Chains A and B, each alone.
Chain A
Amino acid sequence: MPTTEEESNGAALVIHELRKSFADVVAVNGLNLEVKRGECFGLLGPNGAGKTTTIEICEGLISPDAGTVQVLGHSWHDHADELRQRIGIQLQETQFPEKLTVEEVISLFRSFFCQGLTVEQAITMVQLAEKRKSRVGGLSGGQKQRLAMACALVGEPELLFLDEPTTGLDPQARRNLWNLVSQLRAEGRTIILTTHYMDEAERLCDRVAVMDYGRIIALGAPSELIASIGGEQIVEFAIGASAPLNAAMLTGKQGVKSHRVHAGLHQLFVSELHTTVPRIFESLAAQGLDLTEFRTHSATLEDVFVSLTGRNLRDE
């Protein structure tokens, strides 16, 4: 629990000019960030963007080469023991001993905290009541992830770090975990999560930071970031080799904000899909072009990333 009023009003996490390199790879390159209390904050980016390194520095597991991190108003250097009691952590990959039961693993983690939930409450919270006597080895991927969540939650943390909580899970298991995170967010806990699923970040996070090559390249609420690329809808189409496209004729149309070519597809960022699409068809017909593909979708954080970097989030 917050110990002083000042602390409780302050930010949950403040990162200033953070840098970390491994051998000759710069993982985090001058990162600045502030996460407010009660916020669900997402670090979004492709694999290798520096998300895990950043979150592990915040968790006090790695020390930075330069820069400072303040967690709940304290630094790891001075208040490590206190901070460990106040935060909950789910690492990207932890395999609990296969021969222990769900209940035994949670009891073990509960014993490390001075105060927190009962083992019973933690099991109920992550919906593993039916599996409480089952051994870890017999759990599904989603159940193992919920067990990891229970271990992160059992100390009733003020600040929760989740590192790629749904990676490798099937759609149903992802949805279950999303519901759990939404519930925790509704309870007013501060949550910081990393993910490379843009739908996850859009759905769960109040704000996201898009990371690439150890830097933050965009920061804001998902809806703001999507709006910033200049249109809420994306029209994608491909044309036959008949003639070159005159992009200026399309961007001149009302409702079309911009045009770009990505992965062989023409992309138009548009607003008011229902009135703009007929105009696009007219223009393409006027240019005598044959459409071989045509589709539309609502703009996502993926489109934000593509528009900022020219790459897809999961381009490896």
Chain B
Amino acid sequence: MSSLSQSSLFQLTVVRLRLFFREPEAVFWIFAFPILLSVGLSIAFRNRPADVLPVAGTTMQITQALNADKGLNAITLDVAGGRNALATGQILLLAIQQPSSIQFLYDDTNPDARTARLIADRAIQKAAGQRDSVEIRNELNHEAGSRYIDFVIPGLLGMNLMSSAIWALGFSIVEARQKKLLKRLIASPMPRWQYLASFLFWRLLLLVIEVGAFLGFSHFAFGVPARGSFWQLALLCVLASLTFSAIGLLIASRAKTMQAVSGLMNLTMLPMWILSGVFFSASRFPEIVQPFIRALPLTAAIDALRANMLQGTPLAYLLAPLSVLLAWLLITFSLSLCIFRWR
């Protein structure tokens, strides 16, 4: 045996890696799940050609006028049939011929129906001879970086960094405590800091595979851009992972049972899953809760990751989210060192 393989820090770290890779479920949740989730989301939110909206007119002339616009697909129905089709969602709008006007029947709380109303109005006015007074030109933008998949990938990355670190530390430590392995380890000459450091090394080693696989997949499968500096992105991932590991350590520092630690982990992570802008922008929440949301470590991590990947923002301009992450790291780590229960 070489002296490296005889060192206790090396052995402790290798044990962590072995235990992880011998647990197929853990491997699935950390590596395969985020990739499957991003595939699912990319299918659900794929960029489709603009929808053609289904509408109906009560006369052939109206139907013809409506069909003249590429944005509409019109059929002819009588009033009763048209109302029935509206009620069952087969059409979004019914244009009824009145003696001296045309009446639109639609649900104004449905955004698609409001769009159909605007297009139908334009189509009928055009058929009646109205001309544009100002010429408008369209230029379509489907550029990488502005799609939903581009938005959601940094969110998923942040969420994955959080979940994997918190689950991994929480469960491993509480299991060792419950099985009296922690007590057995401190009864040996093992330096205690090395036990905690082995978790750190383990997380950092996994991070390379975890983040590499996920970002590699999203880049090659969806063309998600990486506009910022690669090293700064790596640094961000390391900082986020360490912060969440420290939070996991704090959660696991006193819990004695799996049930207790699961409850604490869910209590910690659930608000962040909802509030921190993984799937939609956190700015949608009311102004009054924004300071609270900004102070969450996952919000800070995701904001910084999005800024790096999508806008190429250098770290020097991301001091606010970086300081939030650093503060969480320092506070939770020092606190867990104070209250950690080895027995």
Contacts and interface: CB of A to CB of B under 8 A. Distances in A.
Interface in B205-261: none
B190 interface: yes
Interface stretch (A43-51, A84-92, A169-177): A84-92
A94 B8 contact: no
Contact of B183 (A61, A96, A99, A110): A61
A109 interface: yes
A99 to B, nearest CB: 4
Interface stretch (A100-108, A197-205, A215-223, A234-242): A100-108
B22 A111 contact: no
Interface stretch (B12-20, B74-82, B146-154, B286-294): B12-20
A95 interface: yes
A100 B181 contact: no
Nearest to B15: A108
Contacts of A60: 187
Contacts of B176: 97
A61 to B, nearest CB: 6
A57 B189 CA distance: 16
B6 interface: yes
A94 B11 contact: no
A74 to B, nearest CB: 14
Nearest to A109: B188
A212 to B, nearest CB: 26
Main secondary structure of the interface of B (DSSP, over half): helix
B8 A91 contact: no
Interface in A66-89: 81, 84-85, 89
A99 B22 contact: yes
B143 interface: no
Contact of B180 (A94, A100, A112, A114): A94
A95 B180 contact: yes
A97 B180 CA distance: 11
Given A99-B22, A111-B7, A104 B189 contact: no
Contacts of A114: 189
B168 to A, nearest CB: 14
Nearest to A105: B15
A93 interface: yes
A112 B18 CA distance: 18
A93 B15 contact: no
Nearest to A60: B187
A211 to B, nearest CB: 21
A169 to B, nearest CB: 18
A255 interface: no
A112 B190 contact: yes
B156 to A, nearest CB: 29
Given A108-B15, A111-B8, A112-B8, A99 B23 contact: yes
Interface string B1-31: 0000011101110010011001100000000
Interface of A: 59-61, 81, 84-85, 89, 91, 93-97, 99-100, 104, 107-114, 151, 155
28 contacts: A59-B187, A61-B186, A81-B189, A84-B187, A89-B188, A91-B187, A94-B183, A96-B181, A97-B19, A97-B176, A99-B19, A99-B23, A100-B15, A100-B18, A100-B19, A104-B15, A108-B8, A108-B11, A110-B6, A111-B6, A111-B7, A111-B10, A112-B8, A112-B188, A112-B190, A114-B189, A151-B188, A155-B188
Given A84-B189, A108-B12, 15 more contacts: A59-B187, A89-B188, A91-B180, A91-B184, A94-B179, A94-B181, A96-B181, A99-B18, A99-B22, A108-B15, A110-B6, A111-B10, A111-B12, A112-B190, A155-B188
